[in-house]
């Protein structure tokens, strides 16, 4: 039961425990409501037998029942809600941590912003289900089973009359969920084009306008929307019908009991008080479902959400030993890698990047140079061959141990909506404020930081939106300076087009690379001319490696690249 709950609703151990307790409380609530019906039945029995009990007798029973009921419902409420939000927070944080452990390959298969929002929304839905539908639905089913046994024992024929419509309804509800799932999947693919047409219309609006293409485009999108509407109506028909019928069929049990009991009474096969009892009991069961209609829908609807979260949990993370690496030569031996089955991006690359040296990787776009950096940092794991640091294949080194020694300055700067100080401090969380400031100064950040309204404590907006491109780049360099890791990977970072900023970034860079194993990917061939080693890549392979002078001798590709860049630079309009 516990394992089932965990799997079915993707809960933690404490979450399962909480649901169990809440479901038990909810079961008691059901019993309590039925007790009210029992009082009614008791009264009926007395009247039919001609016994008149005084009013205070019933008053007493009712008062006691209500007090007990109050306590139970209150407990149920507190139990469900408290557990829910604790569980939801735990789940959100767990997912966030989990995401960070996953190899980047996982993310390239998913749309990033969708992923984030879906997950937060998924948890919100699970949270809502936990506080409403899960315990109540479980409790109801158990209660129904108990009641079914009692009803069947006391009168099998009436019992069946009450239970058949009820269970047919429940089964229909369950089946309709399956049908719905099938439809939704089918529908998803068919309407995907609508979404895409819509997105295209937004993204390409400038092009649409400048080609005077508005009317035609509107018609195409509108037609696609109309088509989607028809499809969805049909989908709704197949899924709404059974759900609606299910509750209606359950209600029928009252009518069926009336008909059957009339027949039984006629044959004197049943006592009147049983008829009353059955009517009251099944009305209670039916009303309970009526009030829970949406809960049941939610209960069944959770599947897809849970599946997504479970998929996340079950994606294997990268493993490896915790080793304190001491030597930082990076050696690639016949490395192969593909983002997807279609094409190999890295196709047998081999070279050595020495400690205290700058190794530059150059080559036409798509040659795999940026990918190499991602492989060295284990953001992706290569398919075959090996990358060796300190005598070990890095696939056998834990990412934690590796990340301690690697810094990566990305071409697309990523900043977070936090203070300047915190953004830089990410480089080394235990750094003092002074250390952070020193890194900022070295990266030429201080002059603009001090101009911000609250200096280092200024919140810099979503992805640093309040800063210019060059300023953002410098913060990311400060971050790497603070970390001061012995292996430094730089990806096309001198691509800024702002002359003044560029010089400051360059100065900061030169401070950053001192005394490390530096691997730099660059398309500005001139800037890396003096590197200790230049690796020329072509279609995932190393075409040639050596110093600038050596390459001019031996690599035709390098000569061609140099020639092209010369032509670009000397071009005038």
Partner 1 sequence: MIYKKLKTYVPERAAFAGIGVLLALAAAALSIASYYCLYGFLRKVIVEADVAGAVPVAARVVVFLIANTVVYFLALWTTHMLAFRLETNLKKQGIRHLMGASFSFYDRNESGRIRKIIDDNTAMTHSSVAHLIPDLTTAVFAPLLGIPLAFHVDWRMGVLFTVSFLSGMLFIRKMMGDQNFMKQYMAASDKMNSGAVEYVRGIHVLKIFKTSVQSLKEFYRSVTEYADLALQYSMSCRSWYVLFQIFFNAVFLVTLFFGYGGGTEPRVHLAKFLYYALFNGVLYLALNKVMYVGMYTYQATACIEKIETLFSEMEEKKLSSGQCETMEDTSIEFRDVTFGYEEQKIVEHLFLKLEKGKTYALVGASGSGKSTLAKLISGFYQLDGGQILIGGQDIGAYSEKALARNIANVFQDAKLFKKSIYENVRLGRPGASRGEVMEALRLAQCDEILDKLERREHTVIGSKGVHLSGGEVQRIAIARAILKDAKIIILDEASAAADPENEHELQLAFANLMKGKTVIMIAHRLSSITGVNEILVIDEGKVIERGSHKQLMAYDSAYKKLQEEYAQANEWRVRV
Q: Does 366 bind partner 1 (CB under 8 A)?
A: yes
Q: Which residues of 358-391 are buried (b: 16+ CB within 10 A; e: fewer)?
A: bbbbbbeeebbbbbbbbbbbbbbbbeebbbebee
Binding track, positions 396-425, relative to partner 1; x by CB under 8 A: ---xx--xx-xxx-x---xxxxx---x---
Binder of partner 1 out of 205, 317, 384, 432 (CB under 8 A)? 205
> Would you say 95 or 306 has its CB closer to partner 1?
95
Q: Does 342 bind partner 1 (CB under 8 A)?
A: yes
Q: Does 568 bind partner 1 (CB under 8 A)?
A: yes
> Would you say 16 or 424 has its CB closer to partner 1?
424
> Would you say 175 or 272 has its CB closer to partner 1?
272
219-227 contacts at long range (C-beta below 8 A, 24 or more positions apart)? 221/197, 224/193, 224/194, 224/197, 225/194, 225/198, 227/194
For tokens 């209660």, name the residue.
143
Binder of partner 1 out of 7, 64, 124, 515 (CB under 8 A)? 124
Chain mean position to CA 134: 21
Binder of partner 1 out of 155, 347, 377, 473 (CB under 8 A)? 377
Binder of partner 1 out of 148, 469, 484, 541 (CB under 8 A)? 469
Q: Which of residues 499-538 bind partner 1 (CB under 8 A)?
A: 499-503, 506, 509-510, 513, 518, 520, 522-524, 526-532
> Would you say 7 or 313 has its CB closer to partner 1?
313
Q: Does 105 bind partner 1 (CB under 8 A)?
A: no
Q: Cα-flanking dihedrals φ and ψ of residue 83, to 5°?
A: -65, -40
Q: Does 461 bind partner 1 (CB under 8 A)?
A: no
Q: Is the dihedral of CA 193, 195, 199, 202 positive or negative?
A: positive
| Separation of alpha carbons 47 and 323, rounded Å | 84
As measured in angstroms, the least distance from the Cβ of 448 to partner 1 is 12
Binder of partner 1 out of 185, 294, 454, 457 (CB under 8 A)? 294
| 22-to-8, 287, 370 alpha-carbon distances in Å | 17, 21, 53
- Single out the segment in contact with partner 1 by CB under 8 A; choices: 88-96, 179-187, 333-341, 383-391: 88-96
As measured in angstroms, the least distance from the Cβ of 16 to partner 1 is 19
| Separation of alpha carbons 374 and 369, rounded Å | 9
- Give Dmax (Cα) for the chain: 117
As measured in angstroms, the least distance from the Cβ of 273 to partner 1 is 10
Binder of partner 1 out of 62, 171, 269, 556 (CB under 8 A)? 62
As measured in angstroms, the least distance from the Cβ of 312 to partner 1 is 12
Q: Does 453 bind partner 1 (CB under 8 A)?
A: no
Binding track, positions 248-287, relative to partner 1; x by CB under 8 A: x--xx-xxx-xx-xxx-xx-----x--xx--xx--xx-xx
- Single out the segment in contact with partner 1 by CB under 8 A; choices: 136-144, 232-240, 326-334, 535-543: 232-240
Q: Which of residues 483-502 bind partner 1 (CB under 8 A)?
A: 483, 494-495, 497-502
> Would you say 117 or 432 has its CB closer to partner 1?
117
Q: Is the dihedral of CA 195, 199, 200, 201 positive or negative?
A: positive
> Would you say 37 or 137 has its CB closer to partner 1?
37
- Single out the segment in contact with partner 1 by CB under 8 A; choices: 178-186, 320-328, 537-545, 558-566: 558-566
Give, as one character, the DSSP assignment of residue 316. P
> Would you say 305 or 483 has its CB closer to partner 1?
483
3-state secondary structure 164-194: HHHHHHHHHHHHHHHHHHHHHHHHHHHHHHH
Nearest to 113 by CA among 199, 44, 173, 229: 199
Q: Does 427 bind partner 1 (CB under 8 A)?
A: yes
Q: Any idea how long the chain is?
A: 573
> Would you say 333 or 338 has its CB closer to partner 1?
338
3-state secondary structure 326-344: CCCCEEEEEEEECCCCCCC
As measured in angstroms, the least distance from the Cβ of 4 to partner 1 is 26
Q: Does 360 bind partner 1 (CB under 8 A)?
A: yes
Q: Which of residues 159-198 bind partner 1 (CB under 8 A)?
A: 195-196, 198
| Separation of alpha carbons 123 and 373, rounded Å | 35
Binder of partner 1 out of 3, 4, 321, 567 (CB under 8 A)? 567
466-473 contacts at long range (C-beta below 8 A, 24 or more positions apart)? 467/415, 468/498, 468/501, 469/413, 469/496, 469/498, 469/501, 470/496, 470/498, 470/500, 470/501, 470/502, 470/504, 470/505, 471/445, 471/501, 472/413, 472/415, 473/413, 473/501, 473/505
Binding footprint of partner 1, residue count (CB under 8 A): 179
> Would you say 4 or 50 has its CB closer to partner 1?
50
Burial of 467 (0-12, 13-18, 19+ CB in 10 A): buried
| 240-to-234, 251, 297, 344 alpha-carbon distances in Å | 10, 17, 11, 48
As measured in angstroms, the least distance from the Cβ of 438 to partner 1 is 18
């Amino acid at each position: 039961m516990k394992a089932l709950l965990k799997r079915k609703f993707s809960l933690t151990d404490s979450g399962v425990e909480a649901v169990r307790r809440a479901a038990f409380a909810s079961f008691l609530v059901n019993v309590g409501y039925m007790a009210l019906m029992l009082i009614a039945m008791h009264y009926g029995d007395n009247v039919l037998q001609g016994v008149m009990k005084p009013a205070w007798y019933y008053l007493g029973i009712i008062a006691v029942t209500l007090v007990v009921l109050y306590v139970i419902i209150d407990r149920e409420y507190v139990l469900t809600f408290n557990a829910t939000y604790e569980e939801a927070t735990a789940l959100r944080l767990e997912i966030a941590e989990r995401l960070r452990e996953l190899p980047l390959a996982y993310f390239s298969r998913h749309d990033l912003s969708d992923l984030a929002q879906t997950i937060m929304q998924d948890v919100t839905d699970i949270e809502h289900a936990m506080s409403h539908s899960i315990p109540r639905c479980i409790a109801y089913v158990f209660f129904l089973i108990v009641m079914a046994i009692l009803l069947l024992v006391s009168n099998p024929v009436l019992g069946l009359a009450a239970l058949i419509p009820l269970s047919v309804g429940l089964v229909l509800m369950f089946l309709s969920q399956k049908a719905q799932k099938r439809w939704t999947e089918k529908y998803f693919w068919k309407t995907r084009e609508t979404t895409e047409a819509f997105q295209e219309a937004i993204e390409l609006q400038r092009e649409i306008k400048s080609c005077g293409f508005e009317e035609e485009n509107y018609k195409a999108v509108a037609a696609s929307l109309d088509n989607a509407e028809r499809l969805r109506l049909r989908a709704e028909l197949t899924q709404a019908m059974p759900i609606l019928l299910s509750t209606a069929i359950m209600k029928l049990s009252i009518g069926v009991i009336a008909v059957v009991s009339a027949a039984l009474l006629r044959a004197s096969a049943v006592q009147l008080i049983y008829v009353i009892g059955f009517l009251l009991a099944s009305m209670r069961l039916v009303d309970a479902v009526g009030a829970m209609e949406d809960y049941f829908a939610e209960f069944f609807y959770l599947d897809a959400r849970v599946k997504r979260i479970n998929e996340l949990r079950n994606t294997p993370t990268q493993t490896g030993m915790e080793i304190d690496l001491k030597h930082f030569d990076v050696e690639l031996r016949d490395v192969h890698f593909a983002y997807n089955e279609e094409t190999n991006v890295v196709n047998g690359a081999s070279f050595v990047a020495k400690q205290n040296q700058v190794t530059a990787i150059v080559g036409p776009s798509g040659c795999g140079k940026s990918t190499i950096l991602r492989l060295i940092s284990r953001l992706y794991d290569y398919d075959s061959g090996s990358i060796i640091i300190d005598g070990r294949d890095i696939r056998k080194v834990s990412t934690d141990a590796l990340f301690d020694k690697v810094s990566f300055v990305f071409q697309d700067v990523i900043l977070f909506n936090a203070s300047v100080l915190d953004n830089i401090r990410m480089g080394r969380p235990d750094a003092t404020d002074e250390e952070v400031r020193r890194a900022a100064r070295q990266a030429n950040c201080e002059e603009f930081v001090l101009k911000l309204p609250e200096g280092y404590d200024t919140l810099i907006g979503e992805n640093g939106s309040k800063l210019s491109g060059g300023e953002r780049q410098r913060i990311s360099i400060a971050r790497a300076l603070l970390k001061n890791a012995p292996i430094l990977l730089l990806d096309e970072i001198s691509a800024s087009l702002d002359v003044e900023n560029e010089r400051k970034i360059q100065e900061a860079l030169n401070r950053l690379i001192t005394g490390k194993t530096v691997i730099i990917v660059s398309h500005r061939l001139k800037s890396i001319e003096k590197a200790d080693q230049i690796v020329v890549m072509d279609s995932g392979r190393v075409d040639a490696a050596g110093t600038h002078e050596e390459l001019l001798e031996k690599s035709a590709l390098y000569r061609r690249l140099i020639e092209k860049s010369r032509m670009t630079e000397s071009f005038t309009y």
